Structure 1
Amino acid sequence: MNRSQKKTLLTLVVVVAALAAVLLIVRTLKDRSARQAEEEAAAAEAAGVITEEAAYSALSYDNGTTALSFALDENGNWTWADDPEFPLDDSTVTAIVDLLTALKPQQTITDGDTLEAYGLDDPFATLTATTPEGETLTLALGNATTDGTSYYILMNGQESPVYIIADTLYTYMSKAIYDMCALPELPLLTEERILSVTLSGTETVTLTPDQDEDADGSVTVTWKSGGEDVTDAAADLIGELEALSITKCVDYKPTDEAVSICGFDEPVTVTMTYLTDSGTEQTLTLAFGTENLDGDGRYVRVDDDTTIYQMDLDSVDALFAAAQNGLTAADAAAETADAADDTAA
């Protein structure tokens, strides 16, 4: 083979190699385009299924720790399926349903790793939403993404594609049922509205107000107990009454054992007679149990409600001290609390 032939052969080899490279690039681009089109189609299908205007009437999910189910009643209100009488604040359930009707995958994976790699061979959490016609939407949640802000999921029992959604849905699913309890709203107890306060524990203390209208129309309240002026000693106690609020539900329909453990065999009671907005006389009774295990709250029951709730411990210090050791102790407790606040500041 002479030099000219060798040169021609080399040129042909280069051309063939170049053509092969071009063909490989074209094939890769076609495969990528086809895969992208497949993922876009899958994402569009998922969006269509998830975001269709479905009027869900039942919702159940298992968050990996607790399984909860909810259903719409005849009045269109969400109820806890295990106990429809439970005073459910349905804002969490509504938020989940709203998410389902507007949920769009952040990413759609049609040609990814194994299900095991995504934690979807054995999903740790599941959700099912059902329409009145019996149509269902099911989601299965696997691992969190590397940044921890999203989850891999499968939809409607299919093993492909794998979707990635934000962690907002699981955050709602993680909320405990007692954290969804509609808490009692205590009446507005201003000095001008309170007619009497009786605290009963180791001691029994009754406070009644004398109201005097000043020349400028303002009202001065003098608090008395046993005929004595105790306004100064009762100041923090009355302040606590005006700011009382329930912070959480601890036990709905508690057992007798739970009632005893929480200290309601011998509770400290606070009974208040007050005027409503319309001027009607009403009575509110609070029964206080022991401190909670964390030491930041005190168990409480409201009127005839058997549910055990909780109030912040420092919000009832003066009330509890007065019921246990009289107004002098309540005043001392308030001074100690004020000193602690000043030190912290």
Structure 2
Amino acid sequence: MKKKKGLIILLAVFIVLLLVYFALQSFNKKQEEKETEKEASEKIYVTDIEEVSSIRYNVGQGDFAFEKDGDTWYYSTDKEFPLMQSYPEQMASTFGNLEALRKLENGDSLEDYGLDEPVYTVELTDSDGNTTAVYFGNETQDAYYVTVNDTEDVYTVNSSVLADLEYTLDDMAQFDDYPNIGSGNLKKETITQGEETTVYDAENEDDAENIAAVAGGLGAVSLDTAADYSAEDADLPQYGLDEASRITVEAVYTQDGEEELLTLYIGKKDGDGNRYVMIQDSRIVYLITDEICNNILNIEE
């Protein structure tokens, strides 16, 4: 009987401790929420744009402009440019609600902050066609002085916000995926140039050295430099990539136990140690070194 009574007491103590634990958890959560709300209410924003539909800027890399149509962002100069969406999305997020470090009260004239002749200008247009211009003036420690439109209100913002704009077109391009190919998974390569066709087959023992050579070339390809982001059929002859001029390389390889086919077109030399190359069904013309192309084609220099 005493043992049973002791168990009941222990159970009661456990329940009380459990209730205290959950009460403390709830209290701490509410305190964290209050602190978060307080911090949010104390933040200062230079801009407050609900939906950014276009962005224009020049921060030393040249003039860039992006616009949004529906849910898709485009490079304004060339809508066929294969733009990676994460870049303009991040720009819109950062500059649509640009957070300030502080707002200057009773500040000096715009000239004193370099805002009479801004170093950089970022123009944002919202979905209603309203344009907001953010001007960047002098840099001070790790911040820039900025103002918006003609308000003459001066803020400081972290200089790191400009990092979202410091990309080249190559950085922002969504290049084609390229498979991992090596002598271990290359099954066959077929090279066609005009009426001439050459085949290297991994199942042919006599082709072992050839397969190793062309696999080394195929495995060294890196699609990271473009000569043309959206080549039309009429543009292909200048690259030697029209159907009558190009060399067609078909590589059969295995991936995850399945046979796959890569079709690569090799064109003219560019005069700087590279050749123009395209992947089948892509409109991007890439530059790949002569050395790699020679390996793919099994040509000795």
* Match of residue 128, structure 2, among 133, 145, 149: 133
* Match of residue 143, structure 2, among 134, 150, 166: 150
Note if contact 1:237-1:318 (Cα within 8 Å) is conserved in structure 2.
no
Higher mean C-alpha displacement, 125-134 vs 263-272? 263-272
- Cα distance between partner residues in 1 of 2:191 and 2:295: 10
Q: Amino acid of the residue matched to residue 111 of structure 2?
A: E
Q: How does 1:26-41 map to 2 (within 5 A)?
A: none
Q: Does 1:62 align with 2:62?
A: no
Note if contact 1:197-1:273 (Cα within 8 Å) is conserved in structure 2.
yes
Note if contact 1:64-1:124 (Cα within 8 Å) is conserved in structure 2.
no
* Match of residue 266, structure 2, among 272, 287, 309: 287
Q: How does 1:307-318 map to 2 (within 5 A)?
A: 307-311=284-288, 313=289, 317=291
Note if contact 2:200-2:210 (Cα within 8 Å) is conserved in structure 1.
no
Runs of 4+ with deviation above 6 angstroms: 201-204, 255-261
In structure 2, do the counterparts of structure 1 residues 135 and 278 end up closer, same or farther at CA, with 3 Å as the change threshold?
Answer: farther
* Match of residue 250, structure 1, among 227, 233, 240: 227
Note if contact 1:178-1:251 (Cα within 8 Å) is conserved in structure 2.
no
Corresponding position of 1:238: 215
Q: Look up the SS of the partner of 2:151 in the other structure.
A: coil
In structure 2, do the counterparts of structure 1 residues 174 and 189 end up closer, same or farther at CA, with 3 Å as the change threshold?
Answer: same
CA offset digits 1:284-330 (Å, max 9, x no partner): 1232543675x6x654222253422234x4xx73541463xx46x3x
Corresponding position of 1:38: none
Corresponding position of 2:250: 271
Corresponding position of 1:100: 95
Q: Amino acid of the residue matched to residue 285 of structure 1?
A: L
In structure 2, do the counterparts of structure 1 residues 178 and 120 end up closer, same or farther at CA, with 3 Å as the change threshold?
Answer: same
CA offset digits 1:162-197 (Å, max 9, x no partner): x22223332332323343111000244455654421
CA offset digits 1:255-307 (Å, max 9, x no partner): 999867766586555332446769466451232543675x6x65422225342
Note if contact 1:199-1:319 (Cα within 8 Å) is conserved in structure 2.
no
In structure 2, do the counterparts of structure 1 residues 118 and 45 end up closer, same or farther at CA, with 3 Å as the change threshold?
Answer: farther
Corresponding position of 1:116: 111
In structure 2, do the counterparts of structure 1 residues 234 and 209 end up closer, same or farther at CA, with 3 Å as the change threshold?
Answer: closer
- Cα distance between partner residues in 1 of 2:213 and 2:106: 67
Aligned CA RMSD, in angstroms, stands at: 3.8
Cα drift, residue 238 of structure 1: 1.0
TM-score between the two structures when normalised by the length of structure 1: 0.59
* Count of residue correspondences: 258
Q: Look up the SS of the partner of 2:87 in the other structure.
A: helix
Corresponding position of 2:83: 88
Identical counterparts, % of pairs: 25
Corresponding position of 1:198: 190
In structure 2, do the counterparts of structure 1 residues 282 and 200 end up closer, same or farther at CA, with 3 Å as the change threshold?
Answer: closer
In structure 2, do the counterparts of structure 1 residues 60 and 117 end up closer, same or farther at CA, with 3 Å as the change threshold?
Answer: same
CA offset digits 1:197-241 (Å, max 9, x no partner): 13467996421121xxxxxxxxxxx55xxxxx1313532431332
TM-score between the two structures when normalised by the length of structure 2: 0.67
Q: Amino acid of the residue matched to residue 294 of structure 2?
A: F
- Cα distance between partner residues in 1 of 2:101 and 2:256: 51
Corresponding position of 1:167: 159
Note if contact 2:201-2:207 (Cα within 8 Å) is conserved in structure 1.
no
* Match of residue 177, structure 2, among 166, 185, 199: 185
Q: Amino acid of the residue matched to residue 232 of structure 1?
A: E
Q: Amino acid of the residue matched to residue 265 of structure 2?
A: L
Q: How does 1:66-81 map to 2 (within 5 A)?
A: 66-74=62-70, 76-81=71-76
Pair member with larger Rg: 1
Cα drift, residue 81 of structure 1: 2.7
Corresponding position of 2:44: 47
Corresponding position of 2:294: 320
- Cα distance between partner residues in 2 of 1:277 and 1:121: 61
